[in-house]
Amino acid sequence: MKYWRVPLDSKEIEVSRGIVVIVEERCKGCGYCIAYCPRNVLELSPRYNVKGYHPPLVKKPDDCVNCHYCETICPDFAIYSLEIPPELPEQAVLPEFATEA
Ligand code: SF4
Ligand code: SF4
């Protein structure tokens, strides 16, 4: 997607990253999470769950931005995302815990 206006601080904005968790036994294979993920992170698994449905699988884990949309749209509470904490800046390490070089 090409934007006609870009924020002045766009290079400083840190995009959050997420880990997707799928509770396969709850899934009914409706595919909503796959169809509506804005980053196209998910796809249908060829495997069957205990109910006989194809659950989603994470095909592009590095592209998840932890937007929680899959979590919001899932009718069966079968998927959610967790934030990967950003790297701590070096200054965040207290001197008494710093390792000697
Ligand atoms: S949290 Fe957002 S980007 Fe990540 S898999 Fe769900 S819908 Fe896609
Ligand atoms: S929206 Fe929920 S029930 Fe539907 S395929 Fe995704 S995880 Fe399964």
Q: Domain with 40 in it: what CATH number?
A: 3.30.70.20
* pTM of the complete model: 0.80
DSSP 3-state of 88: coil
The confidence score (pLDDT) of residue 59 equals: 97
In a domain, 96, yes or no: no
- The ligand 1 site (C-beta within 6 Å) comprises 18, 20, 37-39, 41-42, 64-70, 81
Residue nearest to atom 1 of ligand 2 (CA): 74
In the chain, the number of structural domains is 1
In a domain, 91, yes or no: no
In a domain, 90, yes or no: no
User: Are 88 and 98 in contact, with CB atoms under 8 Å apart?
Assistant: no
35 DSSP 8-state letter: H
In a domain, 66, yes or no: yes
In a domain, 36, yes or no: yes
In a domain, 80, yes or no: yes
Q: Which domain holds residue 23?
A: 17-85
Largest CA-CA distance found in the chain, in angstroms, rounded: 56
Q: What is the band of 15 on the pLDDT scale with cuts at 50, 70, 90?
A: confident
In a domain, 10, yes or no: no
Burial label for 33, CB within 10 Å (0-12, 13-18, 19+), is buried
From its phi and psi, is residue 2 left (phi > 0), alpha (psi between -120 and 50) or beta?
beta
